[in-house]
Amino acid sequence: MPALISVTHLTKKFKDLTAVDDLSFTVNEGDIYGFLGQNGAGKSTTIRMLLSLVQPTSGAISIFNKNLFTHRSEVLRQTGAVIEKPDLYKYLSAYQNLYLFAKLSGIKVTRQLIMDQLEMVGLAERATSKVKTFSQGMKQRLGIAVALVHNPALIVLDEPTNGLDPQGIADMRNLILRLSKEMGKTVVVSSHLLSEIEIIANRILIINKGKKVVEGNASELLDPSKTLVKITTTDDAAAIAKLQHSEWNTVINQENGISLMMNRNEIPRLIAGMVAMEIAIVSIVPQHSLENYFLSLTNQTRHVEAFSN
């Protein structure tokens, strides 16, 4: 599948705080791309940069093979988004909100189109009700209708299940799967819950403190037989060059040393191979599976929170 989003060396600094740090990733057409990280990891800042709401300090974003910042309108015309809470104009009705945002999306708006969208999210009967009378779940559904009304090819959902009840969460999951599988949309969905992402995403990116931790296919990253092996050598650059010309060429992260995703049983053979290639090994650390790794990040934060309380 061709790349639909290509992010390279994206960095965002707010004065002394680096919210996103040299982040690179690719989203392919048709992907449900899970964007995972704790609260404050930099997910929302990255998503806001994808929607040109936040200007990057450095780096590049290409969407639909176009530079986002020079072809902003063309890109956004094909993009729909729900960004955190679905905040809409409370003093307007569901119909008026949807009509207004559909107009802004640059499409021909008819009453039928608006009513069809409201029907799709189960709000047709409340079309004339003011949004201030809606529950959180209804607002979220209306937010989805706003994101989809112009039939975009790319849908960006930032924490779409926040504040929803269990039924609402299940409905949201089904909708995302339907958008991808039946309608062929590309969906970028962020969450701080691995359990949410692993059910729907076919590709996953985990970030922590603004940096990429791991990116890959969900089937591989979630496979317990795959182990993330972190290697330190006396000369990492030379070691990477040698490994890339060997059977161990699946280097997935070159930013903080060398990391390989591999079967744990293969580690002795890797060591033998590296010795044969005259790579001076300092350490080889097999890390937890993705799930354990993500939980360890979460626990780390909880410990900090416990101390600060």
Residues that bind other proteins (CB under 8 A): 14, 48, 51-55, 72-77, 79, 81, 83-85, 87-92, 96, 100-101, 103-106, 146
Cβ(297)–Cβ(288) below 8 Å: no
With respect to other proteins, which residue has the nearer C-beta, 156 or 205?
156
Taken in order 7, 149, 31, 169, the sign of the CA dihedral is: positive
Would residue 106 be called left, alpha or beta, if left means φ above 0 and alpha means ψ between -120 and 50 degrees? Answer: left
Residue 90 CB, nearest approach to other proteins (Å): 7
Residue 10 CB, nearest approach to other proteins (Å): 14
The CB density around residue 204, as the number of other CB atoms within 10 Å, is 24
With respect to other proteins, which residue has the nearer C-beta, 37 or 152?
152
Alpha helices (runs of H) in 79-155, residue ranges in sequence order: 94-104, 111-120, 136-148
Joined tokens for residue 158? 């930032």
The CB density around residue 71, as the number of other CB atoms within 10 Å, is 15
Residue 82 CB, nearest approach to other proteins (Å): 9
With respect to other proteins, which residue has the nearer C-beta, 50 or 221?
50
With respect to other proteins, which residue has the nearer C-beta, 45 or 180?
45
Helix-helix angle 166-181:136-148, to 10 degrees: 10
Residue 133 CB, nearest approach to other proteins (Å): 15
Q: Please measure the distance between the N-terminal and C-terminal CA atoms of the chain and give it in whole angstroms.
A: 48
Joined tokens for residue 122? 């189960």
With respect to other proteins, which residue has the nearer C-beta, 75 or 214?
75
* Residue 288 DSSP label: P
Residue 176 CB, nearest approach to other proteins (Å): 19
Residue 73 CB, nearest approach to other proteins (Å): 4
Closest CA to 285 of 271, 269, 300: 271
With respect to other proteins, which residue has the nearer C-beta, 68 or 231?
68
